[in-house]
Amino acid sequence: MAKKKAVKKSDAKATEEKMVTVFIMGKGYKVPAEATIMGAIEYAGYLLKRGAGCREGFCGACATVYRMPGDYKIYTGLACTTRVEEGMWLAQLPASPAHKAIYDIKKIKPEVATIQELYPEVFRCVACNSCSKACPQDLEVMDYIQEAKRGNIAAVMDLSFDCVMCGLCAIRCPAEIVQYNVGLLCKRLYGRYLAPESKELTKRIKEVKSKKFDKEFKELMTAKKSDLEKQYYDRDLES
Partner 1 sequence: MYPDYMTESLKKVVASRNKRFELAKSGKPVYPPMDADEREDVLNKFHPDFKKESRKKIRIGPNKGELLTTEVTEMLESHSRIKPELFDLSNPDYETDILIIGGGGAGCAAAIVAMQHGAKSIISTKLRMGDANSMMSQGGMQAAVKPQDSPTRHYLDAMGGGHFDNKPALVRALTEDGPNVVKWLEELGMIWDKDEEGSLQAMHGGGTSRKRMLSSRDYTGAIIMRTLMDEVRNNPDKITTLEFTPTVELIMDARGRAAGGILYNIETEEYFTVKAKATINATGGYGRLHIRGFDTTNHYGATGDGLVMSYRAGAKLMYMDSVQYHPTGSVFPEQIAGFLITEAIRGAGGQPLNKFGELFVFPREPRDVESAAIIRECVEADNGIATPSGRLGVWLDSPLIDMLQGDGYINRHFPAMHRQFIRYGIDIKEEPMLIYPSLHYQNGGVEINDKCESNIPGLYVAGEASGGVHGRNRLMGNSVLDYNVFGRRAGTYATEYAKKVKLGKLNIEHVNAYEEELKKARIKTDLIAPVLLPSYTPESVRKRQLTAHYEGTLR
User: Where on the chain is the footprint of ligand FES (CB under 6 A)?
Assistant: 52-55, 57-62, 78-80, 164
Sheet with 27-32, strands from edge to edge, namely: 27-32, 19-24, 89-92, 63-67, 75-78
In whole angstroms, the minimum distance from the beta carbon of 81 to ligand FES comes to 6
Residue 91: strand pairing partners: 65
Sole binder of partner 1 in the list 53, 96, 118, 146 (CB under 8 A): 53
> Based on CB atoms, which residue is closest to partner 1, 5 or 73?
5
| Contact between residue 104 and residue 72 where contact means Cβ atoms under 8 Å apart | no
> Based on CB atoms, which residue is closest to ligand FES, 114 or 179?
179
Residue 20: strand pairing partners: 31
In whole angstroms, the minimum distance from the beta carbon of 4 to ligand FES comes to 22
Site for partner 1 in 166-195 (CB under 8 A): 184, 187-192, 195
**Considering CB under 8 A, how many residues would be counted as binding partner 1?**
82
> Based on CB atoms, which residue is closest to partner 1, 88 or 165?
165
Burial 112-133 (b: 16+ CB within 10 A, else e): bebbeebbeebeebeeeebbbb
In whole angstroms, the minimum distance from the beta carbon of 14 to partner 1 comes to 7
In whole angstroms, the minimum distance from the beta carbon of 58 to ligand FES comes to 6
Query: What is the DSSP pairing of strand 75-78 with strand 19-24?
Result: unpaired
Sole binder of partner 1 in the list 6, 26, 27, 73 (CB under 8 A): 6
Q: Does 121 bind partner 1 (CB under 8 A)?
A: no
